[in-house]
Chain A
């Protein structure tokens, strides 16, 4: 634990904690958004992330000229997943809105199984790998700590997503309607808003974020079957800590989780995962609605 006195080491762990957090935020924000407005706990959110990763890998492999093709394929992946999300919402999900919660859970879990098998049929069971885009393969040194340049770019993209999400929820007319839908969808419908198309748009936006984060993660992780379930567990821990439906809560939850992982391994080398779960349990006992969430009426 003596390393904790070494500023270079602490900065290094901080860096890795923040990087973990920004990815978790990208994925968990969509999950939280869907819950906040549609009141659905979407297990299949991780599947959309996985499909984003596979599409990004597939398109990168097909397009010529690596540097440009990577970013083009990220965009393609995010858009295709957004459309897929819209189709899922229009054709399937809307029939279970009025069902009881455990039906909805079972339904989205069924989607997880379907998407996971579909991905295996389409892309096989091998691990795939995407190289870092040209010019972003190295790292820069800041204050004695190496920052991989690709992760700096992710940090910038993640911060932009936070700002855009906050602005569009709090400073636009559409955002006001979304917030209203989260509070009382029946009243909103009675006031003449087309709630059904609002739901489709929200699901599409959340799917876009899932596809985007899946695509952006490919240069850092391998693209493998099972990455869907892996990420959804982490994303749930994050939203439970931060509060389902709260944007800032999701950001806070991501940061807490990232830091617990980064510093936990120094303090309890073999129990850092336990620390994250313990924290979640503690939050559930003391504030079941999460650190920044609101109790559900």
Chain B
């Protein structure tokens, strides 16, 4: 006999006390965090979780929210949509969490969003980038995103490239799947608006997981672009760079390349060491030191450093830290942990994030979250590793719509 796991779970939930009744009886505010904690994505999932844990520790030390403690209940989503849905359901039905803050990939986010809608439990997604998560047809009162989306990332990159005056012919290389297609589209459309004189001469679409980029690199060079937008990330970026360098890719383009997708983070620069393509532009969620850094941000970095015993600390804790900030501010404003009241309080809510002011927009539940962009160079600060220079926070407010 085949037993449907979901039906059993749903049945068990119905038999027990209704979850919302059970939740109201507890004094602790429970926040469920589905996040990849094993497998390749754990490299980012583990430090991302630290941000929420640190935030909870800080809030609890100063008396909690509405006089109540915050408990973080982390579950391994294994970077899979099915597993994320399973653990999200378990968190809601068995652990009676009040809120969900989590998911990482663009597959997990939308999948857990449907659970949030069904169970009327708020999901704040700190990392997934796909525009689909908060697109009009998928939007519902219980889903919010505090991370940058593909539109913000593609357009931020276009804003930077638009200032490169000697560029006329542009090419793109991204993986042929949701993230790559969306980010390239956002980049190209915005760039054409900013610089009608620029022509897109080539677009390469290797499949996700492609191990051999050389034919794509060679074909791209043959079209003689002046500059390139690349959407490579993580280990794929490492492979791509290794194959492109001996073909003279970076030399020919004189490093007029912008590659967001956080390859400017210390996680990537540490892996690559001296093999990093110094001179390209990239982005990162967070950066330990830069000119014009606010006192609040410096203090935040010190705290993360102490909490994670890492110096400089990972660039990922900020993702869930900001999501938790939004959540607790909304709970305070609503003076309640009721999903509907907190959901209303989140609309248009403004907070002071460590790196500056952030607003969760009422119309699309999307935060005006920008990232740090800069040129990756070799200098004394990084030793053999690349460090970001000319650092700027690209505020997406003017070009989000």
Contacts and interface: CB of A to CB of B under 8 A. Distances in A.
A168 interface: no
A16 B222 contact: no
A137 B246 CA distance: 7
A222 B205 contact: no
Judged by DSSP, the binding face of A is helix
Interface in A259-297: 261-263, 265-266, 269-270, 272-273
Contact of B242 (A8, A220, A234): A220
A20 B215 CA distance: 9
Contacts of B247: 139, 146, 148
Interface of A: 3, 6, 8-9, 12-13, 15-17, 19-20, 23, 120, 125-129, 131-132, 137-139, 146, 148-151, 219-222, 224-227, 230-231, 234, 261-263, 265-266, 269-270, 272-273
Contacts of B311: none
B215 A9 contact: no
Interface in B215-256: 215-216, 218-219, 221-223, 234-236, 238-239, 242-243, 246-248
B222 A221 contact: no
Contacts of A270: 176, 205
A20 B214 contact: yes
Contacts of A16: 212, 214-215, 218
Contacts of A6: 222
B207 A230 contact: no
B27 to A, nearest CB: 38
Nearest to B176: A270
B238 A222 contact: yes
12 contacts: A3-B219, A20-B214, A125-B40, A127-B40, A129-B271, A131-B274, A131-B275, A146-B248, A220-B243, A221-B242, A222-B235, A225-B40
Interface string B300-337: 00000000000000000000000000000000000000
Given A139-B247, A148-B246, A265 B216 contact: yes
B238 A139 contact: no
Contacts of B114: none
Contacts of B215: 13, 16-17, 20, 261-263, 265, 272
A19 B242 CA distance: 14
Interface of B: 38-40, 42-43, 176, 203-205, 207, 209, 211-212, 214-216, 218-219, 221-223, 234-236, 238-239, 242-243, 246-248, 271-275
Contact of A13 (B212, B218, B239): B218
A139 B215 CA distance: 16
A92 B384 CA distance: 45
B78 to A, nearest CB: 12
A139 B248 contact: yes
B211 A231 contact: yes
Given A225-B39, A269-B203, A128 B222 contact: no
Contacts of B236: 222
B212 A261 contact: yes
A12 B220 CA distance: 11
A273 B207 contact: yes
A129 B273 contact: yes
A125 B43 contact: yes
Nearest to A274: B207
Given A3-B219, A231-B211, A129 B246 contact: no
A12 B242 CA distance: 17
B273 A269 contact: no
A64 to B, nearest CB: 16
Contacts of A8: 222
B94 to A, nearest CB: 27
Given A132-B242, A151-B246, A265-B215, 15 more contacts: A9-B219, A20-B212, A23-B212, A125-B38, A125-B40, A126-B43, A129-B238, A131-B275, A139-B246, A220-B239, A220-B242, A226-B209, A261-B215, A263-B215, A266-B219
A138 B246 CA distance: 6
Q: Which 5 A-B pairs rank lowest in CB-CB distance, beginning with the nearest?
A: A127-B235, A148-B246, A222-B238, A16-B214, A262-B215
B207 A3 contact: no
Contact of B222 (A12, A20, A272): A12
B365 to A, nearest CB: 32
Contact of B235 (A23, A224, A234, A273): A224
A16 B210 CA distance: 14
Given A3-B219, A151-B246, A230 B211 contact: yes
Nearest to A24: B212
A245 to B, nearest CB: 25
Contacts of B204: 265, 269
Kindly name the residue among B209, B222, B248 whose own CB sees the greatest number of chain A CB atoms within 10 A: B222
A231 B216 CA distance: 18
A221 B211 contact: yes
Nearest to B274: A131
Contacts of A120: 39
Nearest to A124: B43
A226 B216 CA distance: 22
Nearest to B267: A126
A127 B207 contact: no
B222 A9 contact: yes
Nearest to B45: A125
A125 B243 contact: no
Nearest to B247: A146
A195 B203 CA distance: 54
A24 to B, nearest CB: 9
Contacts of A226: 40, 209
Nearest to A148: B246
A150 to B, nearest CB: 7
A219 B205 contact: no
B180 to A, nearest CB: 11
A185 to B, nearest CB: 35
A217 to B, nearest CB: 8
A12 B218 contact: yes
